[in-house]
Chains A and B, each alone.
Chain A
Amino acid sequence: MNRLRCILPGLLLLTISVTGHAALQIVTTTQDLAALAEAIGGEFIKVQRLTPGTRDPHFAATKPSMIRKVFRADLLLVIGADMEIGWLPALLQSARNARVQPGNAGYLDLSNAVPMLGKRSGTVSRAMGDVHAKGNPHYWLDPRNGVHMAQAIATRLGELDPEHAADYGRRFITFERTLNDKLPGWRAALAHLESKPVIAYHTSFIYLANAFGFRIVDEIEPKPGIAPSASSLSLLLAHIKAENIGLLIMEPYYERRSARYLNEQTGIRVAVLPQSVGAQTGINNYFDLFDAIVTTFNDAKDN
């Protein structure tokens, strides 16, 4: 009994000291959010992503290991705007972690931190395909939005961990400065795209187009999320010829056959753009992402 009396408070102390020094557990739905969180949180946080940058975050394969991660999370970062609607609600219910339920401090929807494009008012019908009424959720592809997202993350980390709030603030300033230093270089390297018409596979590059001044005039998908058919491709072919469109951009995870066909028929150049951190090896942070996008664009130009 005496021994028990010694052990119990000892165990309690141990638990407290362990939890006291534990880094904040951050879980993100995508690898882009993980990269931003790492840039802001540094050694004070531990970041785990639910989907890798190689996969389409619309269609995550929910795995039991995800429940485990969300269950332990102090903060869940999501893209929002219905990006994760197909899998996150069920995951949140299974994970039974009150801290990270929507509305609580441990849930941060980054779509609230950026100016959203492509919002739909009025009737949204599924006959339009996979249209997101809350706006196009691919907003991380505008580097200026990266700053808004990083700031929102820094703010929330500061709330959850006031002891290191100043550190998060400093890292955010460094992040913002680095991005502002790099942005003119990226813009200069992509100046040749200025107001050029471009075809995209899916409606996922409108923020990138907005940031670098090119125009997306059509998509391979006849409607968002609807696979192209022979007739939709022949319509697109006519459009490419009529407007003399020279460039097609798409994510690495889409089928390449349609793009190859259009290339054979019209000579349109195809740039398979990494759309996320981790989409290709060597893209380890948010700056790498735009470096790689710029390189891919310019490789497509030189070919």
Chain B
Amino acid sequence: MDHPHFRITAAIAVMGLFALNSGAAIGSEETDTLQRQLTEVQQHLRYMQQTYQQQIDALKDRIGALEIHSDQTVSQSSALPTPAATSADNGGLRIGLSGQFAGGGSSIGNDALENLQAGAHDPNQNGFTVQNVELSIGATVDPYFDAQANIIFQIDTDGETVVELEEAFFTTRSLPWGLQVKGGQYFTEFGRLNKQHPHSWSFVDQPVVLSRFFGGDGLRSQGARLSWLTPTDWYSELIVGIQNAKGETVTSFLNAPGEDIGDHRLIDRDARDFGDLLYSARWLNGFDLSDTVSMNLGISGLRGPNASGNSTDTDIVGADWYLKWQPAYSQRGFPFVSWHTEVLRRRYEAGDPGDPTQETLEDWGLFTQALWGFKPGWVAGLRWEYAAADGDTAADPLRDTRKRFSPNLTWYPTEYSKLRLQYDRDWIEHSPERTADTLWLQVEFSLGSHTAHEF
């Protein structure tokens, strides 16, 4: 029975079993190894990924830096003034047209009313008044100049249309050290309100003291002024100017011959030397009292010849302040409260030395006005004015003691239109009526360029 074949088979079977067993043993060893290897590969991959990511990031950084350098070379030319880009960014020529119209009625007649409403843009008759239609054109000339012209159209009480070149001036853009020159025909920077155009006014009419000292059109003339933004920590601007002293828009100086001031008839006097020009100075300061309150304080002075004699001079000095509050959250710039006050004094040498009627006329006046923007588009205003002069001036409409109290309410449907209702209560020394009550309704529109408002 000894079958070698069987033995071999058995041996193979046993070996096979062994082999199977050992095969299982070998299999688990290999799995461990493989797993270890896999972990190593994974770790390596992660390491490589990190390394590559770092390398990629570094490259991106370098590309970023290079891009910036290459952009720099490409757009380096933008460091030079480019007039085309400038005017395109400014919208090229800015053209705007604004108009104010008023209607109203007073307790006194038209002749008396004209004396009270002495401003050339004031509504001054029972019924309707075209106060002011103003065409404004401005642009950046080139990298060195801006220029602007304002032409006004009015219809006078006789129904005649009057056209005036109100302003036409250039201002420099690129002077160093905070300097700026303005030249041409322009409103003198005296106080805050004189250079504001009627569409920027918060009341229907011009303050009494400004009508008296600067005339109905405000103080404007031909000349040039230099302004310096001083290198202080707060906003501080010094302005000195020199302008022609002659003409009907330079009231208090070489005003229209034939008119009177006090008892003095004005003569025709021309500029003979530098002493016959109008000199002006203004120092304006601005502060932020907090994030919500800002304040401007200014003082101004004028000196020039007047036409009551051949060697007579006028001095006018003034102080002004403006305070504004606006809360942190505001819609369309509302709510706000502002308070604006100006005080002015005039010293007028009337008559040459040796003239028996020679005297010095002293006048002064103030206006103070508060505005409350109580909800978007709605502003309530209150103005108080006082003007007086030394001596017996009770019969003179331009020098008597005058008080005026004016509450008003303005509704701005948008920034481009407004409706204003104003009540004026006047106390008048020169008029037999003594007081006047007047109600005005004003409508205003503006077309074209946004009118950018200064602070």
Contacts and interface: CB of A to CB of B under 8 A. Distances in A.
Interface stretch (A60-68, A135-143, A184-192): A60-68
Interface string A53-71: 0111011111111111001
Given A68-B234, A96-B179, A172 B64 contact: yes
B235 A61 contact: no
Contacts of B65: 165-166, 169-170
B330 A103 contact: no
A255 B89 CA distance: 33
A54 B416 CA distance: 24
B86 A52 contact: no
Nearest to A67: B235
Interface in B229-256: 229, 234-235, 237
Contacts, number: 178
Contacts of B331: 56, 253-255
Given A52-B328, A93-B171, A165-B69, A68 B415 contact: no
Contact of A104 (B79, B172, B336, B454): B79
A61 B332 CA distance: 10
A169 B332 contact: no
Contacts of A103: 78, 81-86, 89, 143
Contact of B64 (A55, A170, A227, A255): A170
Interface string A187-202: 0000000000000000
Contacts of B330: 54-56, 59, 61, 253
Contact of B79 (A130, A159, A166): A159
A67 B452 contact: no
A285 interface: no
Interface in B310-330: 324, 326, 328-330
Contacts of A67: 229, 235, 237, 286, 455
A104 B452 contact: no
B235 A173 contact: no
A56 B332 contact: yes
Contact of B324 (A61, A66, A88): A61
A87 interface: yes
A82 B89 CA distance: 10
B401 to A, nearest CB: 35
Contacts of B89: 102-103, 107, 109
B329 A252 contact: yes
A56 B332 CA distance: 7
Contacts of A168: 68
A159 B173 contact: no
A24 B80 CA distance: 19
B21 interface: no
B416 A126 contact: yes
Nearest to B78: A105
Interface stretch (B113-121, B271-279, B288-296, B424-432): B288-296
Contact of B90 (A86, A102, A227): A102
Contacts of A56: 330-333
Contact of A96 (B180, B288, B455): B180
A95 to B, nearest CB: 8
Interface in B70-122: 71-72, 75-76, 78-86, 89-90
Contact of A85 (B82, B227, B285, B450): B450
Contacts of B452: 85-91
Contact of B414 (A64, A155, A159, A225): A225
Contacts of B64: 154, 169-170, 172-173
Given A101-B143, A102-B86, A55 B68 contact: no
Contacts of A13: none
Contact of A55 (B90, B143, B329, B455): B329
Interface in A34-61: 52, 54-56, 58-61
A123 B79 CA distance: 34
A273 B378 CA distance: 26
Contact of B294 (A64, A96, A158): A64
B287 interface: yes
Contact of A61 (B67, B71, B336): B336
A159 B68 CA distance: 8
Contacts of A59: 330, 332-333
A87 B234 CA distance: 20
B396 interface: no
A103 B88 CA distance: 9
B180 A63 contact: no
A233 B80 CA distance: 52
Nearest to A107: B89
A62 B332 contact: no
Contacts of B178: 71, 96
A118 interface: no
Contacts of A162: 69, 72
Nearest to A109: B89
Given A61-B324, A102-B90, A96 B286 contact: no
20 contacts: A52-B291, A55-B328, A62-B454, A63-B286, A66-B455, A86-B415, A86-B453, A90-B452, A93-B173, A95-B229, A96-B175, A98-B81, A101-B143, A102-B89, A103-B83, A107-B89, A158-B69, A172-B68, A173-B61, A225-B414
Given A56-B332, A173-B61, 9 more contacts: A52-B291, A55-B330, A65-B286, A67-B286, A86-B415, A96-B172, A155-B71, A170-B65, A253-B329
